[in-house]
Structure 1
Amino acid sequence: MKILTIQELKEKNYPGSQITIEQELGKKEGYHAYLVSYQSEGLKIYGYLTVPAGKKPPKGWPAILFNHGYIPLDKFKTDRQYVRYLAHLAKAGYVVFKPDFRGHGQSEGEPSGNFESGYAIDAINALESLKKLPAVNPDRIGVWGHSMGGHITLKVLLVKPEIKAAVIWAAKYQSISPVSFIHELNMPIQLHHGLLDERIPTSRSEEFKEVLEKLGKSVELYLYPEGNHNLSGPELKIAMDRSVKFFNQFL
């Protein structure tokens, strides 16, 4: 698939679809988990969905679209990667939807790479599908992205400015097309980055924060002394607690 400009992405239609439960993955501690599917450009895209246990609020649960980072296709498992992240958000009272972008897991289509547009289109259709879910309050949706998923998240934010807040971990901003549209970002953004990251230098997040601040945007950055490209141990919990607090404030 060719690389679409931000303007071309904005002009596309994103109907989303009904989210279909393919398999119940059981009740976890404080939430239910499901293998689900939805439609994106005629492709059947699978994903991991969590719904908090307990009584649904009158207007529905707040929700988070969760954009995964790069994972080698031969190691990709829907219910394996990011499970601790998803559980943390789910236990905090959020519906969380992690789509498996085209070509990943059981999802149809060819993997397109993060600089092409297929993954962003899948993410935006996932967002529109999430809004249709009866359990979700469509006016309280945030976006979370890690690494490649951070790049995808920026595109989602530019195409769908109604998003209330976004959390981005260890992403590269300067060499991708959304950087020239950053002035359009009006939602609060929280950044996280490990100081030991060997894939994407911490300076990328520091520079991005500086650009946003100069534009008068709401942004905060947290750095983790022991953190690599993926956080772990106590730092992972600290980062997730900060993410939950941030979403609680703005969603």
Structure 2
Amino acid sequence: MTALRPRPAGPVATVAAVLVLLAGCSSDAGEADLPGSSADPSSPSSPTSTATAEPDEPTEEPTEQQTAEPEPAHPVSMAALAQADLTGGGLRLGAVRERTSAYTSYDVTFASTTMGRGTEPLRISGVLNVPTGRGPRSGQGWPAVVLAHGYIDPAYYVRGQGMTRERGFLAQRGYVALHVDYRNHAESTDDPRIEQAVRLGYAADTIAALHALRDSRDVRVDPERIALFGRSMGGGVMMKALAAEPGLFAAGVGWASVSSLEAENFAQFQRPDAPLAELEAEFRGRHGLPADDPEFWRGVSPRPLFGEITEPVLMVHGRFDDTCPPPWARATQRAMTQAGVDATLEWYDDGHAFGPAFIAAMDRTVRFLDARMPA
């Protein structure tokens, strides 16, 4: 895991009260053939070289500033997530949900962590689609995709909800697809610290899902060909996981994604009928509104750490999305390319849920995955 510079510490915080307001959904609407277009990438900056002393030169005594311990990361931050030793495994297949000519769908569970090794493991539920057949001729196992769903109120969420269409489509195209329910959802264990770092915990669960697939003896998956695909809120989860664990996944996909800056998500999804005084009373005691503590809000956002991402990323967005504004997608793709990420943005004449353009967008997504994870 790449070490990151810790961000300045703010007050001990919680992002859950804000982040549960983020809306993300998936529709089972029909199909169309509307190709998208790529945004213009920017060139990454050139690396700089560092001079080193000759071996026989006397070295200076380290100063107090040089020997000082680095400032610890804020406990609720992307830096803390990146520094945590995130683990996972123990994939267990449960009941068969569905059996078709193309794939078999199972209820599954696997282990995740709160913020790393040494913390009590959480049991995460999900749904796994495994293609029919013996797998690729290479003998390396199936390519796989971890699915990060959009926001659905955990009080009403049921196992596997939110990306049913995507899961089936991928399995029909020869991909093992693991839908992650996240902690505090469906049959997953409730995280007692959910009020401290809910969205960061979701990213940890997708990372745990990759480890669970790699370690599984029941499902033959190529450990080097596992991608992460998130929609709406899950697009933000995808970006955070890639920034926290660069090089772990083979590629990232974000559909109709939320902003890569959490302050923008707050402004978009906070309760529109809540008076300012009520919002201030609710959030100021925890971490403050974005205007009160901008460093904290940047610290829980993936955009400042885009330079850590090593995987190629495909962003897919609808031109008529009225939930996650199209300018967010443009800004995210631009920031990624400026940070040196191989990021592509595809547009479709559709809304947030991807109804008419679903088939065309999924075809484009599979082509991207096939190119980034060849057999």
TM-score under structure 1 normalisation? 0.92
**In 1, distance between residues paired with 2:95 and 2:82?**
33
Structure 1 stretch displaced more, 11-20 or 102-111: 102-111
**In 1, distance between residues paired with 2:105 and 2:345?**
30
Aligned-pair identity (%): 30
Partner residue, 2:142: 61
The SS at the match of 2:315 is strand
TM-score under structure 2 normalisation? 0.63
The SS at the match of 2:302 is helix
**In 2, distance between residues paired with 1:178 and 1:54?**
38
Q: How does 1:211-250 map to 2 (within 5 A)?
A: 211-225=335-349, 227-233=350-356, 235-250=357-372
2:214 is aligned with what amino acid? Answer: K
Q: How does 1:141-156 map to 2 (within 5 A)?
A: 141-156=226-241
1:173 aligns with 2:260: yes
Q: Deviations over 1:54-99 (max 9, x none)?
A: 1123111111111111012344222443211111111111111111
**More strand as a share of residues:** 1
Partner residue, 1:117: 200
Number of residue pairs aligned between Structure 1 and Structure 2: 249
User: How far off its partner does 1:116 sit?
Assistant: 3.7
Out of 156, 163, 169, the residue aligned to residue 82 of structure 1 is 163
The SS at the match of 1:137 is strand
The SS at the match of 1:33 is strand
**In 2, distance between residues paired with 1:110 and 1:12?**
16
CA contact (8 A) 2:147 2:163 kept: no
Aligned CA RMSD, in angstroms, stands at 2.0
CA contact (8 A) 2:303 2:335 kept: no
Which segments of 5 or more consecutive residues in structure 2 lack a partner in the other structure?
1-12, 16-75, 114-120, 263-299
CA contact (8 A) 2:109 2:125 kept: yes
**In 2, distance between residues paired with 1:211 and 1:190?**
13
Out of 98, 111, 130, the residue aligned to residue 39 of structure 1 is 111
CA contact (8 A) 2:319 2:351 kept: yes
**In 2, distance between residues paired with 1:141 and 1:118?**
20
The SS at the match of 2:186 is coil
1:160 aligns with 2:239: no
User: How far off its partner does 1:180 sit?
Assistant: 0.5
Q: Deviations over 1:150-172 (max 9, x none)?
A: 11111111222222111101121
CA contact (8 A) 2:160 2:181 kept: no
Structure (1 or 2) with the larger CA radius of gyration:
2
1:232 is aligned with what amino acid? Answer: G
Partner residue, 2:188: 107
Q: Deviations over 1:197-220 (max 9, x none)?
A: 111100000111122233343121
Distance change >3 Å, CA 75–CA 224, structure 1 → 2: farther
Partner residue, 1:127: 210
CA contact (8 A) 1:2 1:116 kept: no
Q: Deviations over 1:11-41 (max 9, x none)?
A: 2222312111121113124111000001123
Structure 1 stretch displaced more, 143-152 or 121-130: 121-130
The SS at the match of 1:197 is coil
The SS at the match of 2:89 is coil
2:316 is aligned with what amino acid? Answer: H
Runs of 4+ in 1 over 6 A off after TM superposition: none
Partner residue, 2:268: none
CA contact (8 A) 2:157 2:186 kept: yes
CA contact (8 A) 1:29 1:91 kept: no
2:185 is aligned with what amino acid? Answer: H
